[in-house]
């Protein structure tokens, strides 16, 4: 009984934080509730607090509104409606992250053709709600993407590399991705239009010659 009361207290506290910081109710998936770096340099995964385990859910037309709210709360830039409508062209590498039935994080990626053959997987957004940062959630989402890209299930995608753009001043995000084996391969001046500095790095992680070659 004490353990049950403690679990109930944790869930209630999490819901209260979500209402305060995210402006939503319970956010439970049963109710239809509902990058690349949505933390604007504030999230240093190395400064870890108590680690939390995510439950992953699919993006649907019913919960896309909650994803919009999450992105608005975590990104310094605004994503227009066409960004969200384009998501539905390919949701295989998009997931929502829940803790205690509350949407607290997400990752959205798209497949792109490579001129050298195979596909590239582009991380468009990775976001974690501020009260849940530094708890290993972003790590779980990136690990899920990399494992899925390498899996037998997605062999036909022929993913050869994963890449993303990161603002040049966002040292915590750069360090985070380097921990997964990403490397800076390019600098693009004036990539961002409404934030300073406007320049970005391109970070890439090769996945060898495709899914089969990366199996351990």
Cis peptide before 190 (omega within 30 of 0): no
Structure tokens at 5: 């009361």
DSSP assignment letter at 9: H
Give the burial class of 72: count Cβ atoms within 10 A of its Cβ; 0-12 exposed, 13-18 middle, 19 or more buried: middle
Catalytic, 165? Answer yes
DSSP helix/strand/coil, 43: coil
Active-site residue, from 79, 84, 165, 191: 165
Distance, in Å, from the CA atom of 35 to the CA atom of 124, rounded to the nearest integer, reads 5
Given the residues 122, 191, 192, 201, select the one marked as catalytic: 122
- Residue among 93, 152, 154, 97 nearest 122 (CA): 93
Report how many helices (DSSP H) and strands (DSSP E) the chain contains, helices first: 5, 7
DSSP state of 79: P
Residue 125 has φ and ψ, to the nearest 5°, of: -140, 140
Contacts of 101 (CB under 8 A, 6+ apart): 11, 26, 27, 28, 29, 30, 55
Residues taking part in catalysis: 122, 165
């Amino acid at each position: 009984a004490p353990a049950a009361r403690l679990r109930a207290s944790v869930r209630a506290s999490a819901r209260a934080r979500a209402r305060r910081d995210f402006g939503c109710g319970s956010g439970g998936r049963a109710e239809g509730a509902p990058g690349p770096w949505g933390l604007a340099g504030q999230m240093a995964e190395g400064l870890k607090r108590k680690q939390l385990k995510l439950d992953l859910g699919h993006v649907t037309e019913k919960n896309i509104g909650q994803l919009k709210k999450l992105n608005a709360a975590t990104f310094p830039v605004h994503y227009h409606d066409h960004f969200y409508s384009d998501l539905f062209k390919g949701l295989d590498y998009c997931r929502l992250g829940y803790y205690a039935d509350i949407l607290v994080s997400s990752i959205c990626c798209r497949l792109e053709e490579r001129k050298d053959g195979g596909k590239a997987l582009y991380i468009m957004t990775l976001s974690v709600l501020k009260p849940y940062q530094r708890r290993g959630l972003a790590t779980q989402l990136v690990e899920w993407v990399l494992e899925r890209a390498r899996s037998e299930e997605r062999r036909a995608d022929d993913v050869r590399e994963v890449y993303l753009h990161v603002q040049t001043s966002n040292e915590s995000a750069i360090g985070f991705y380097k921990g997964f084996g990403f490397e800076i391969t390019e600098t693009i001046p004036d990539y961002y239009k409404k934030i300073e500095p406007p320049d970005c790095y391109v970070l890439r992680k090769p996945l060898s010659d495709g899914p089969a070659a990366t199996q351990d």
